[in-house]
Structure 1
Amino acid sequence: MHDRRRLGRVIWAPLVAAALSGLVIGAVARLLMRGITLAIGGLTGFSLVSTLAIIVVFVVLAVPAAVTATARPVVRHAGRWVTAVVTGMLAAGTGLSDAKTILLADESRLTTIAVLIVAFAAAVVAHGLLAQHLTLRFRRLPAGDSTPAEALGTI
């Protein structure tokens, strides 16, 4: 019984952590993207499909960091940076499509745009760190006297 709980934590902790990290950082990234669009004077509006797609991408990209959270330090750091680099490259590729618009933006808005871009970069770096932190927290949750299935009365 104890081994099943431990195996469950090994499997579910990183998956739930990746989902939560992707949800939080994906939502923050979406808001920052919208802020940049507002700052450059672009059309605004949220598309539910686009928002969900961004969050799903952030969830998937959090997996390397989450699954390496309990590994040796070099592997743990590599997992975190794989998440940050891949997320950053995808974000940079997407952001470059707006490069002309950003360069042609009103000079009075450049400071705001720069602050939003730096905040976005910080969110990208925090993405893997949050996934690893949550994984470790979920792995350390106290074990109950029963499994979740037993608590619900299904066994």
Structure 2
Amino acid sequence: MRENRPLGRAIWAPVGAAVISGLVIGGLARLLMRGVALALDASTGLSLVGTVGILVVFVVLALPAAVTATARPAIMHAGRWVTAALTGLTAARTGVSDAKIIVLADDGQLMPITVLVVAFAAIVVAHGRLAQHLTRRFRALPQAPAEALRTPDARPV
């Protein structure tokens, strides 16, 4: 029999998992984007606004997987696929912004670009899985007893 868990945990576990997953995977995506730029001898500047924007997008993209982490298996897998599809489209569109550059790349640039594209695919798959794993872990954390939440008295014992 399942024990009753507070509604707050049902809400904050997926939100926290989406934030952590989005920051980790978004950070990796940002590094891979820089790697693509380096491999193509393009501009490799990292702007703070661009990086924050990418991290926020990846946090939002983790929400479908995080919210469906404890649902029935079909819904859980659908949430993971939605996250993977949206993350894949976003990473491909943002990370490889100009496909003509890749098509016209030198032979020496193709291997690093290929490795980076495969790495993008790996983080796309990992994004939803990480969000769901973290959500389940956060929901399973033991509940703090009410006594531990009270502030101690200032009187000496």
Q: Give yes or no for TM over 0.5.
A: yes
Q: Where do residues 3-42 of structure 1 align in structure 2 (5 Å cutoff)? A: 6-42=6-42
Q: Which is higher, the Rg of structure 1 or of structure 2?
A: 2
Matched, 1:123 2:123: yes
2:72 maps to which residue?
A: 72
User: Cα offset for 1:97?
Assistant: 3.0
State the Cα RMSD in Å: 1.9
Paired with 2:99 and 2:68, the residues of 1 have a C-alpha distance of 34
One-letter amino acid of the structure 2 residue matched with residue 141 of structure 1 = L
Structure 2 CA distance for partners of 1:64 and 1:152, relative to 1, 3 Å: farther
2:155 maps to which residue?
A: none
Paired with 2:45 and 2:93, the residues of 1 have a C-alpha distance of 21
Which structure has more helix as a fraction of its residues? 1
2:50 maps to which residue?
A: 50
User: Cα offset for 1:147?
Assistant: 8.2
Paired with 2:93 and 2:20, the residues of 1 have a C-alpha distance of 24
1:90-117: CA deviations, max 9, x gaps? 2223345321111122211211110000
TM-score (norm 1): 0.90
Paired with 2:132 and 2:109, the residues of 1 have a C-alpha distance of 35
The percent identity for this pair of structures is 64
Paired with 2:65 and 2:150, the residues of 1 have a C-alpha distance of 31
User: Cα offset for 1:82?
Assistant: 0.2
Matched, 1:93 2:93: yes
1:112 maps to which residue?
A: 112
Structure 2 CA distance for partners of 1:131 and 1:102, relative to 1, 3 Å: same
3-state SS in 1 of match to 2:146 = coil
TM-score (norm 2): 0.89
1:112-144: CA deviations, max 9, x gaps? 110000001110111000000000000011111
**Mind listing any 5+ residue stretches in structure 2 that lack a counterpart?**
153-157
Q: How many residues align?
A: 150
**Mind listing any 5+ residue stretches in structure 1 that lack a counterpart?**
none
One-letter amino acid of the structure 1 residue matched with residue 7 of structure 2 = L
Paired with 1:42 and 1:96, the residues of 2 have a C-alpha distance of 11
